[in-house]
Amino acid sequence: MSTISDAARMIVEQAERGLPIVAFTGAGISQESGVPTFRGGGGIWERYAPEEVATAEGFFRDPARSWRFHEELRRTCLAGKPNMAHIALAWMENALRSLTNCPVITQNIDGLHQAAGSSDVTELHGSCHRVRCVECNFADEDLPAEFPELPPRCECGELLRPDVVWFGEQLPHGSFDRARLLAESAGVMMVVGTSATVQPAASIPIAALQHDVSLIEINPVCTTLSELIDVTIRDVAGAALPELAERVGQLLNGAGDSECKRE
């Protein structure tokens, strides 16, 4: 029996008990959309030092440099379309709708789960498609294709910053607590495309484990979580998740209408 069949059976069994099927995703799920991972070669991280552009200290030292990095990242995210992995998760949510919920907890800031149609997405690290003022309560998610000048400023005169979580910062109010609750109440957690090294996000699958939630890992390489995982699928997400969704569909519907295809 292949691991994909094991994973599909596990998902359907838990969904039939009414337990949520949660996905916990990282940069790897968007790699096939052209959004580079931190640790992969050829990405924008090779040209910017994270401590200079993705920390509060780096931002306030040189806001224009930090903004140039974030604008490049935003353009990359806007150019990237949801890939078959994002689409398969949204498809599974629909297929399992009458049985249970399929929330997504993501470390990504690219908005690709929402673009694929997932309706319940908790963004642990914010979104590159939103800004907020460093001083007042102003926040905006209707951003121009390009800011006329960098750094952009709020009407109050202070700096605007991307609404993302930088290294050393607290996670957005409520999102970490919600993610923990989702993890602890899940039937299955699919851990997709994350090295599980960035804290406190990496504690979310551990919280699931501590509540006896079954874990499925989808990643082409071993991670620090791998030895704790129930079912490991050593493949890229864009290949593994559509196949998994299709098997789930077959278990739910018999051999019939279960193909997970790009719209």
| Interface stretch with ligand NAD, choices 114-122, 142-150, 219-227, 248-256 (CB under 6 A) | 219-227
* Residues 23 to 42 in contact with ligand NAD, rule: CB under 6 A: 26-28, 30-32, 35, 37-39
Rounded distance, CA 25 to CA 216, Å?
Answer: 12
Q: Using the rule CB under 6 A, is 219 a contact of ligand NAD?
A: yes
125 is catalytic: yes
Closer residue to ligand NAD in complex, CB, 56/99: 56
Residues binding ligand NAD: what is the number (CB under 6 A)? Answer: 28
Closer residue to ligand NAD in complex, CB, 14/219: 219
* Residues 42 to 101 in contact with ligand NAD, rule: CB under 6 A: none
> DSSP secondary structure string, 136-192?
SS-EES---SS-SSSS-B-TTSSBEEEEEPPBTPPPPTTHHHHHHHHHHH-SEEEEE
> DSSP secondary structure string, 86-102?
HHHHHHHHHHTTTT---
* Residues 123 to 182 in contact with ligand NAD, rule: CB under 6 A: 125
Least distance in angstroms from the C-beta of 136 to ligand NAD: 27
Smallest CA-to-CA distance from 116 within 182, 8, 23 is with 23
Q: Which of 12, 109, 179, 188 binds ligand NAD (CB under 6 A)?
A: 109
Which residues lie near ligand NAD (CB under 6 A)?
26-28, 30-32, 35, 37-39, 107-110, 125, 193-195, 197-198, 218-221, 223, 236-238
**Catalytically annotated residues:** 125
